Structure 1
Amino acid sequence: MKILIADDHHVVRKGLVYFLESFADITIVAEASNGVEAVNLYKQHKPDIVLMDIDMPELNGIEATKQICTLDSAARVFILTSYSEKDIVIPALAAGACGYQLKDVEPSLLVETLKASISGETALDSRIMKHVLSHVHQPVNQVEKKLDQLTEREVDVLKEISTGKSNKEIAGALFISEKTVKTHVSHLLSKLELQDRTQAALFAIKAGVAID
């Protein structure tokens, strides 16, 4: 996995480089100290994913994300910041970010969510879910009707998805194989007419089945 790190704090950036490069399958291809550098370095290196801070000089992380995603529709930009406010979270996701985690996230979880993002999953810190939920409007009776379409096991998987667990973690929690989890996830997304795990997690909250 090739990563471009964009963060204006030198110590934070170097700390991320040191930690992430301890994994054999991760390579840091470039470092940016502002949004303009992030965009230019993305063009040059075409990394698998960009680890993007929000508050940076010259061009902030939201605008840099927007520019990168405009340049390349397949780009994966993952926000890593200390900001959890609604007026920052929503614009960042609207700009095209594939994930959003706060900087106090457990290091091992950060790596897991980055790898999940490469696979097309969307990872959001559970603490910002409420902000995204406020933008999801669906009648309660419609939610209940859709929930009734799921099997008991699919509901179990949906509950686990709401906690932000990976397929591997869900498999361990439910004592089933990872392949079976993938099948259940695929089926429940289809039945609920959702695009990804983030939408599934939001649906679980709306339906009242999310695990606190």
Structure 2
Amino acid sequence: MTKKILIADDHHVVRIGTAMILEKNFNYFEVDFAETYGEAKQKFESEKYDLIILDIELPGSILKSMVKEIKNISEETLILIFTSYKENIALQYIEEGANGFLNKQSDPEIFVKAIEALFKDGYYYTPEIMNEMLKGSKKKKAVEHLSERELQVFNLLAKGNGNLEIANALNVEESTVGTYKRRIYQKLKITNLIELFHIYKEIH
């Protein structure tokens, strides 16, 4: 059965190169193209695609919101984020519903493997992405082990409040906030506020 694929990328060489790899390795794909997100949206609103290969730097891009928009229109459509960005930003797209994330520097063999996995399993994650997912899961689990009061302090710290502001907000002594802060650092295995900000950002 023929499957329809939309390649949404503003670079002609990428569109043609990607299509050539698909045509060389698969004989049941019908390939379509879009050069902007606006054009891609018009197409996936009027036609059903089995897979959209999406560049997040498309003209008109709304970044990860594109994934949610596509899934709202066609939940069954698979989405492969195909970008020059590294895997460390992949999680935010996967959380929105993307089925895979692949760097454009990947070898053609890896690209073919990704397409095969998407249609067989419904997803494709590189080892690097799996590692990022595992790290994110561990951090989330660590936050879940904070006490109710520690979690309040954690959230207030992440929103830029200092010890005095937190003490006033929670009606406790400033030294008590310092104690909670030390416990939070110990439980999350961090040493500074920048690391705390990163964890907060990853779980929200």
Q: TM-score range by the shorter chain?
A: 0.5 to 0.7
SS at 1:108 equivalent: helix
Question: Which residue is equivalent to 2:111?
Answer: 110
Question: Which residue is equivalent to 2:15?
Answer: 13
Question: Which residue is equivalent to 1:57?
Answer: 59
Among the aligned pairs, what percent are the same residue? 30
Kept in 1, the 8 Å contact 2:48–2:74? The answer is no
Structure 1 stretches of 4+ moved >3 Å: none
SS at 1:74 equivalent: coil
Aligned pairs for 1:39-188 (under 5 A) are 39-84=41-86, 86=88, 88-137=89-138, 138=141
SS at 1:47 equivalent: coil
SS at 1:4 equivalent: strand
Rate the CA distance shift 1:79–1:64 in 2: closer, same or farther, 3 A: same
TM value normalised by structure 1: 0.58
Q: What do the CA deviations read for 1:133-172 (whole angstroms, capped 9, x no partner)?
A: 2221358xxxxxxxxxxxxxxxxxxxxxxxxxxxxxxxxx
Kept in 2, the 8 Å contact 1:116–1:122? The answer is yes
Name the aligned partner's letter for residue 125 of structure 2: L
Q: For the pair shown, which has the larger CA radius of gyration, 1 or 2?
A: 2
Rate the CA distance shift 1:24–1:116 in 2: closer, same or farther, 3 A: closer
Moved more, 101-110 or 17-26: 17-26
Name the aligned partner's letter for residue 127 of structure 1: E
**Count of equivalent residues:** 138
1:30 and 2:32 matched: yes
TM value normalised by structure 2: 0.60
Residue 93 of structure 1: how far off its partner (Å): 0.8
Kept in 1, the 8 Å contact 2:4–2:31? The answer is yes
Q: Distance in 2 between matches of 1:24 and 1:102?
A: 21
Kept in 1, the 8 Å contact 2:36–2:58? The answer is yes
Unaligned runs of 5+ in 1: 140-212
- Whichever structure has more helix as a proportion of its residues is 2
Name the aligned partner's letter for residue 122 of structure 1: Y
Name the aligned partner's letter for residue 134 of structure 1: K
Name the aligned partner's letter for residue 118 of structure 1: F
Compute the RMSD of aligned alpha carbons.
2.1
